[in-house]
Structure 1
Amino acid sequence: MTGKVSESAAAAVAGITSGSSLAVGGFGLCGIPDALIAALEEAGVDELEVFSNNCGVDDHGLGILLSAGRIRRVTASYVGENKEFARQYLAGELEVELTPQGTLAERLRAGGAGVPAFFTPAGVGTPISDGGMPWRYGHDGSVAIASPPKETRVFGTKRYVLEEAINADYALVHAAIGDTDGNLVFDKTAMNFNPLAAMAGKVTIAQVETLVEPGEIDPAHVHLPGVFVQRIVHTGPQNKRIEKRTVRAEGRPS
């Protein structure tokens, strides 16, 4: 490793140990740090706690860690594309905290900004605020761990629920362009969760498609300052996957 630059994805994730918590960027299969996830799977670490919008699909993204039984707990807002996720959750093998997507984004941002908690109207009057959501099932199908009720408070005439910030041991993110100082530029939808996940990690590791020298990125185009990034690795262009392929029947008008 020279400065912040790691020689490989394996070198970049070195030091991540079993039981670590990870904030992972990406939205669906867009902008996911796939090379870093694959390197982490090869490293053999387990008992991971993951904060991410979703958990990939069965054979790609975080799904490969999940299928290998490396993830202990997931905080996410959408998990509908992963059959193994559903199986593990219902079988009592995986602890799951579901949270509204906007709330998850703000919890990550708050963690990076040093804000310990915030009030939001999202989830008021539902099990999100009232408690009772199954976090983990028992092997007999009973609820082993349920979510606790959260503090609510009225501001003006509206009730809000208190949500705590997310701080993770590590963050794994993907960027289109990065410089050797760690300044990052994200592409389109990859902007959704990558910058927020990067802010929430105590040690943030970025894989980039294009690595340049400091000064080659226009400061006005930097989406995430290098102060949030501790390690960076050049992985080249991604082999982008399509999460859902939709086609029309042959001969029918589009």
Structure 2
Amino acid sequence: MIDKSFDSAGAAVADIHDGASVMIGGFGTAGMPDQLIDALIARGVGDLTIINNNAGNGEQGVAALIREGRVKKIICSFPRQSDSHHFDAAYRAGSIELELVPQGNLAARIQAAGAGLGAIFTPTGYGTLLAEGKETREIGGRNYVLEYPIHADFALIKAQQGDRWGNLIYRKTARNFGPIMAMAARTTIAQVSDIVPLGALDPEVIVTPGIFVQRVVEIGRESA
């Protein structure tokens, strides 16, 4: 019997190791798997490479990882916001490396990893500092920059519901990067508000098929 459900967030992240690359879903706080991140912090691992849309908000989620000194490098689109003070402090101190990626390129590079592509050409960034040292090519009269896929050892994502096979549906904008990150990581861990019986999810509305998910943990709505 296939059963990918775990009893706790701590058990679900138990094999994330020092130096791992970890994709974390979420657009700001929407769709951020906070309980999985808290469990990762509790594990005490460090030297992590984090792939996320931004560099954390306030005191929770990715910001908490940075605050605790667990992040060696972050790959993101929006490192600075009004409440990104933990990233700001770490970057100014030289304790965190930043790879800045335009948001469209970030999504496209993650999608490329999930699709098994070796590289992609994108017009975004051409003629800017972001293209320095990268191969460029003119295609159909337009200039493009060669970008490589972003893979990860683990992906931590949040969904609304899942079943024990790992099929997932999302709630509105909380969907954001979750589906493509699930495809681009070796191990995908999803926190869901409810684990429902097999067959309870309409196959026509499942967004992430269970083949891309290795672990599911239920986090009650009152704490999610």
Q: TM-score, normalised by structure 2?
A: 0.96
Q: Choose which of 83, 94, 101 in structure 2 pairs with 1:99.
A: 101
Mapped contact 1:58–1:67 kept (Cα < 8 A): no
SS of residue matched to 1:196: helix
Residues 80-103 of structure 1, C-alpha deviations (whole Å, 9 max, x = no match): 231110121122110000110010
Q: Aligned runs of 1:84-163 on 2, under 5 Å?
A: 84-130=86-132, 149-163=133-147
CA distance in 1, matches of 2:221, 2:183: 24
Greater shift, 39-48 or 187-196, is seen at 187-196
Instruction: Note the C-alpha offset of 1:198.
Output: 1.2
- Structure 2 alignment gaps of length 5 or more: none
Mapped contact 2:32–2:157 kept (Cα < 8 A): yes
Residues 45-75 of structure 1, C-alpha deviations (whole Å, 9 max, x = no match): 0000011101221311111110000000000
Greater shift, 190-199 or 91-100, is seen at 190-199
Mapped contact 2:31–2:176 kept (Cα < 8 A): no
Mapped contact 2:137–2:145 kept (Cα < 8 A): yes
SS of residue matched to 2:161: strand
SS of residue matched to 2:181: helix
2:221 counterpart residue number: 237
Residues 174-215 of structure 1, C-alpha deviations (whole Å, 9 max, x = no match): 000111100000111122211111111100000000110111
2:141 partner amino acid: T
Asked if 1:211 corresponds to 2:195, the answer is yes
Asked if 1:6 corresponds to 2:17, the answer is no
CA distance in 1, matches of 2:154, 2:162: 18
2:27 counterpart residue number: 27
Q: Choose which of 160, 170, 173 in structure 1 pairs with 2:154.
A: 170
Asked if 1:197 corresponds to 2:181, the answer is yes
Q: Structure 1 pair 42/179, CA: closer, same or farther in 2 (3 Å)?
A: same
Larger radius of gyration: 1
CA distance in 2, matches of 1:71, 1:206: 21
The alignment of Structure 1 onto Structure 2 pairs a total of residues equal to 221
Instruction: Note the C-alpha offset of 1:104.
Output: 0.2
1:183 counterpart residue number: 167
Q: TM-score, normalised by structure 1?
A: 0.85
Residues 199-254 of structure 1, C-alpha deviations (whole Å, 9 max, x = no match): 111000000001101111000000110000000000111657xxxxxxxxxxxxxx
Q: Which runs of 4+ in 1 moved over 3 A?
A: none
2:76 counterpart residue number: 76
2:62 partner amino acid: L
CA distance in 1, matches of 2:222, 2:153: 25
Asked if 1:63 corresponds to 2:47, the answer is no
Mapped contact 1:24–1:51 kept (Cα < 8 A): yes
